Structure 1
Amino acid sequence: MNQETLKRMDLDFVLHTYARNWTHFVKGRGARLYDEKGKEYIDFGSGIAVCSVGHGNERLAQAIANQAKNLIHTSNLYLIEPQAKLAKKLVELSGYDMRVFFANSGAEANEGALKIARKFGEENGELKRYQIITLDSSFHGRTISTLKATAQSKMHQYFGPFPDGFVYAKDLSDVPNKISDVTCAVLLELVQGEGGITPFDKQEIQNLAKTLKEKNVLLMVDEVQTGIYRSGELFASQVYGITPDVITTAKGLAGGVPIGAVMTTLKDIFAPGDHGSTFGGNFLSTSAALEVLEILHTHKQSGELDKTIVYFTHKLQDLQKRNAEIFTEEVGLGLMRGLRVRDLETLTKFLSVAFEAGVLVLKSGRNTARFLPSLNITKEEIDEGFKRIESCLAKL
C-alpha cells in the first residue's frame, strides 16, 4: 500500500492522538530503517528506546516465531514457564532481592507501583498513608493515575477529576519538605526522559534514599526508559548505588513486544486478587524478553556495550563542541543522551533537517534533542548517522 493511501486510511479510521510524521517504514535492519521508496535512515531513536536490540534482529525474531508456533497465551491462571524464568533472570541480573509482576506497558507498570505504595501506606503506620511525591517535569504514563503522577500541568487538561494524593516537588532537595504524616512513597526517574535528559546527581539520590529509609517512605524508581541496560547497567539504580523498594521498567525489555514489569522488595505486599493482568507476562512477551536479556547481557559482559557508550558519547560531545552556536550542552547517561539546542525553533528545525538527511532524532523537554540508539548499534551505523547530521547543520 502506498504512502498516500495509507495516510488517508489512518486519518479516516485511527483516532488523531499523534502528530505523525507520515513516512511509511517497511523494513529495518540493525539501526537502519527503510521507507516504501527505499530511502535509508539511521535510527537514533529506536522506537523511543524500545528496539533495544535493533530492527529485524534474527535471534529475537526466531524466539518469537518458535514460541508463537507453540503457545502465545494461556492467562495467568496457569503456570507460564518463560514468565518464571524471566522474573528469575531480572532478579539475578539486578542483584536485588525482589519479586516481579508483569504488565503490558510502562504506564501499567507504574500503576502497579502506585498500588504497592498505597497498600504499604495503609498497612504500615498509625495513620493511613496515601500521598505519593513526584518531581516537576516528570513523566510516568497516560492512564488517569499516572497522568496525575506526572508533574506537568499541560498533561492535566480535560481529564479530571484525578485521583487525590499526589504531591509535586520542584527538585530533589524539595522532596523532604513535601513529606508529611500521610506520605507513603516517592516516585522518580533518575534521568527524566521527557524532562531534558539530565541525570540527577548521584550523591543527592543516595542522600534522598537514606532519608526515605529513615522515614519509612518507599523509594520507587521509574526505569521505564532507563532500564534494561540503557544506562550501561541493567538498571540505572545500580549506576547510582541504591536499592529502591520498587522499580518499574518496560520499553526495551522485549525489543518491541509490549511488556512492563514491577519489581519490589516488598515480596508479599500483594495477595491473590489485589492486582492482575489478562495479557501481562504471557508466553510470547516473556519469551521475547528472555531472548533480549540474553543478547544484552552477553553484549554487556563482552565489554561491547561500554565501548559503544563511550564512542557514541564522544561523537555527541565532538558535535556539540564544533557547533556550540547550535548545541549548548551534551547531557545524558549510557545510551540515553541529549543535546541542548539554543532554542525551541532551532530544535524543531534540527529534527526536521536531520530527518531529511536520513537520521531519526527525538525531542525531549523544551530544547533537547534526544538520542536513544539501539544498544547493539554498530560503529559503522554511528559514524554514518553523525556524518549525515554534520552534512545538514549548514541549513540551521
Structure 2
Amino acid sequence: MVEKLDKEYVLQTYTRNYVNFKKGINATLFDENEKDYIDFTSGIGVVSVGHGNKKVANKIFEQVSNISHISNLYAIEPQAKLGQKIAQLSGMDVATFFANSGAEANEGAIKIARKYGETKFDSKKYKVITLEHSFHGRTITTVKATGQESMHSANFAPYPEGFSFNNKIDDIYNSIDSETVAVMIELVQGEGGVQPLDKEAVQKLAKYLKEKDILLIIDEVQTGAFRTGEFLASNLYEIQPDIITMAKGLGGGVPIGAVITTHKDILTAGDHGSTFGGNYLCTSAALEVLDILDEEKNSGTLDETIIYFQDKLNEIYQNNRDLFTHSVGLGLMRGLRVKDAQTLASIISEGFNEGVLVLKAGKNTLRMLPPLTISKKEIDEGFKRLENALSKIK
C-alpha cells in the first residue's frame, strides 16, 4: 500500500526500501509485521536520543499544546534559551541564527562570509574554498560548495561563482588569493567516507586563516551535538572557528538548523530570515535533546557507549579482514572501508534482511551512526546480526 502511494504521489528522488516502520524504542525499530531492526543509522545521524524518546515526546506535546509557531517577528523564549545553551556548551562567545536544515545552515554561513567580505575590506572578497569529498547540502549554492564533481550536474547549471575545492588541507594555502573570504570544511567527512581530518593540520590551518583575516567555517551538520563525543568536533580539535553549522542530531528528529558565529554584528535586520526557523516547536525539542545529551556526557555514559561500540566494531573488523581494509571515524560516527562497492551493497542488503540497518558513505565505506543513547544490549544484538550478514556473503 505505502509503496503504491509513494510511487504515485511522491517525487521519486530517492531509491527507497519499502519497509513500513511503525514504532521505535531507542535504537530498535519495528515494522508493520512486528519484525524488529537494530538501527545503526539513526535516520542518518538525526535521531540522536533514540526513537520514541519519552522526554522529547512530552516536551513536544507540552509545547504544541500551547504554541507551536508565531514567526520571528516576535521574541521566542525557547529559541533564546537554545542560543544560550549552544554558546555555553560550545565554550565560545557566539550567537546563533536558526534555520530548518543543514543545507540552510550552510547557506546562512556562506551569506555571513560574503557580507563579511563585502563590508570589512577595501576590495570585495567572496571566494570560498572547500575540500574534495566534502558534502555541504543540496541547494544550488551548497551543491556547488560540495567538493564532488559528480554533484555538479549540468542539469542544474549555471551554479554560483566563487567556489573551489582542494584535494587536501595542505593544498588550500596555495589556492588562497586576494578574493578568498572563507575556507569551509568538515572535521570528519561524513558523506565522503567517514574520514577524520588530521588534528594538527586543522589547527595549523585555523591559525593561518586567523592571521590572514580569512574566515574558517566548520560544517558540523553531522559531527555536532555530541556525535564525536564532544558537543562539537571543533571542541575535540581544540579550535575556535568563525562560523559553525549544525542540524541533524540537534533536534532529535525535529527539523532544525543552526548557524553559530563569533561575528555577531555581521548580519543585521533584513539580511537573512526564515519563516519556520527557530520556532517554538523545534527549539523546545532541541533544548530537551541537548539536556539529555549533556547529562549522558557528564555522567560518563556517552564515553562508555563510544568505547563499547568501538570495541565491538573492531571485533567485526578483525574477524573479517577479507572484507574490510580499514576502520575509520570518531565517536559514534564510524565506518569500515569495504574492499569493493559490490560487496558493500551486499552487506547493506543482507544486513537489512538480518535486521540491522547500516549506511553507505563515499564509494566503499560501510557507515554507522547509531543513536547516542544506544544500549549495550542493542549494540551486541546489532553486531551479532551484522556478523550473520557477513557470513552469508562470503
Amino acid at match of 1:42: I
* SS at 2:19 equivalent: coil
Amino acid at match of 1:97: D
> Aligned partners of 2:112, 2:157: CA distance in 1, in Å?
23
Q: Does 1:46 align with 2:42?
A: yes
> Aligned partners of 2:242, 2:129: CA distance in 1, in Å?
15
Q: Which residue of 2 aligns with 1:141?
A: 137
Do the aligned partners of 2:2 and 2:18 also contact (CA within 8 Å) in 1?
Answer: no
Amino acid at match of 2:214: V
> Aligned partners of 1:186, 1:277: CA distance in 2, in Å?
25
Q: Does 1:358 align with 2:358?
A: no
Amino acid at match of 1:90: I
Q: Which residue of 2 aligns with 1:111?
A: 107
Q: What is the aligned-residue RMSD (CA, Å)?
A: 0.6
Quote the offset at 1:226 in angstroms: 0.2
- Number of corresponding residues: 392
- The correspondence of residues 66-77 of structure 1 with structure 2, limited to 5 A, is 66-77=62-73
- The correspondence of residues 347-386 of structure 1 with structure 2, limited to 5 A, is 347-386=344-383
* SS at 1:252 equivalent: helix
Quote the offset at 1:220 in angstroms: 0.2
Deviations 1:165-204 (A, max 9, x none): 0011111011111100000000000001111101001000
Q: Does 1:215 align with 2:242?
A: no
> Aligned partners of 1:236, 1:394: CA distance in 2, in Å?
35
Q: Does 1:302 align with 2:281?
A: no
Q: Does 1:282 align with 2:279?
A: yes
Quote the offset at 1:121 in angstroms: 0.6
Amino acid at match of 1:227: G
Q: Which residue of 1 aligns with 2:121?
A: 125
Do the aligned partners of 2:183 and 2:214 also contact (CA within 8 Å) in 1?
Answer: yes
Q: Does 1:153 align with 2:140?
A: no
Do the aligned partners of 2:216 and 2:241 also contact (CA within 8 Å) in 1?
Answer: yes
- The correspondence of residues 1-396 of structure 1 with structure 2, limited to 5 A, is 5-157=1-153, 158-396=155-393
Amino acid at match of 2:23: K
Quote the offset at 1:356 in angstroms: 0.5
> Aligned partners of 2:123, 2:191: CA distance in 1, in Å?
34
> Aligned partners of 1:394, 1:48: CA distance in 2, in Å?
25
* SS at 2:196 equivalent: coil
Query: Normalising to structure 1: TM-score of the pair?
Result: 0.98
Deviations 1:234-287 (A, max 9, x none): 000000000000000000011000000000000111110000100000000000
Quote the offset at 1:126 in angstroms: 2.2
Deviations 1:96-119 (A, max 9, x none): 111000000000000000000000
> Aligned partners of 1:276, 1:123: CA distance in 2, in Å?
20
Query: Normalising to structure 2: TM-score of the pair?
Result: 0.99
> Aligned partners of 1:206, 1:181: CA distance in 2, in Å?
22
> Aligned partners of 2:110, 2:386: CA distance in 1, in Å?
41
Deviations 1:310-362 (A, max 9, x none): 11011111110111001111100110000010100100000011110000000
Do the aligned partners of 2:225 and 2:232 also contact (CA within 8 Å) in 1?
Answer: yes
Deviations 1:291-315 (A, max 9, x none): 0000000000000000000110111
> Aligned partners of 2:390, 2:367: CA distance in 1, in Å?
16
Quote the offset at 1:141 in angstroms: 0.4
> Aligned partners of 1:173, 1:278: CA distance in 2, in Å?
40
> Aligned partners of 1:86, 1:25: CA distance in 2, in Å?
31
Q: Percent identity?
A: 59
* SS at 1:138 equivalent: coil
> Aligned partners of 1:380, 1:394: CA distance in 2, in Å?
21
* SS at 2:156 equivalent: coil
